[in-house]
Amino acid sequence: MNSIKKTCIAAACVALCCVLPGMFHSVGLGTAFSPLHIPVLLCGIVCGPAFGILSGIIGPILSSVITGMPGAQMLISMVPELAVYGLVTGLLMKLVRTGHIHADLYISLGTAMVAGRIVGGIAKALFYMGTGEAFTLAVWASSYFVSTLPGIICHLILIPLLVLTLEKAKVIPPRYPKAAV
């Protein structure tokens, strides 16, 4: 894909960062399904690490300014977490080539989701260090894995589906073009 097409897709993903949280939070599903993560993970996979990290930084900040979600206190941990999502998915989609798109997607998504949650937890722990409040390993595991389990499952189902749909619609080139017959 050329850089203009990648820029347009990344811009659409940043716009989705502003729209999706409002939709999910309006029906009480925002925290559980982590809707802000969807466009950032998708951007990293489709557009690569540079656009992925940019969408992970710009998306939540712009959403916060326009919609008030996430709140300023949440941005402290969400921006590093989402930046890592975009970066790692983009890097791994460039580096990992198993010959099977599903394997590539799940390796990239799984690794990025764990790495991003670790970085987000570190950012949150550093923030809490100055407040005197405790941010324990149990609190981290609960807030980043247990309470967001529906979102993790949703992302692991939805994002590969979106990528395959974009390929089928010829919006993005196929990862493994079929051999010419």
pTM to 2 decimal places: 0.92
Contact at 8 Å (CB) between 25 and 68? no
Which alpha helices (H) appear in the chain, and where do they start and end? 3-26, 30-33, 37-47, 49-67, 72-95, 101-129, 137-141, 149-168
Model pLDDT for residues 28-66, shown as the tens digit of each residue: 777 778 899 999 999 999 999 999 999 999 999 999 999
DSSP 8-state symbol, 69: -
Residue 41 CB contacts under 8 Å (≥ 6 apart), including other chains: 85, 86, 89, 109, 112, 113, 155, 159
How many Cβ atoms are within 10 Å of 63's Cβ, its own excluded?
26
Residue 111's Cα: distance from chain center in Å? 11
Cα distance between residue 64 and residue 130, in whole Å: 23
Cα distance between residue 18 and residue 9, in whole Å: 15
> How does the average pLDDT of the chain come out, rounded?
92
Using CA atoms, how far residue 30 sits from 52, 97, 173, in Å, is 22, 33, 32
pLDDT band at 179 (very low <50, low <70, confident <90, very high): low
The pLDDT assigned to 181 comes to 42
pLDDT at 134 over 90: no
pLDDT at 91 over 80: yes
Q: In the numeric block, which tokens belong to residue 6? A: 């990648």
Cα distance between residue 45 and residue 6, in whole Å: 11
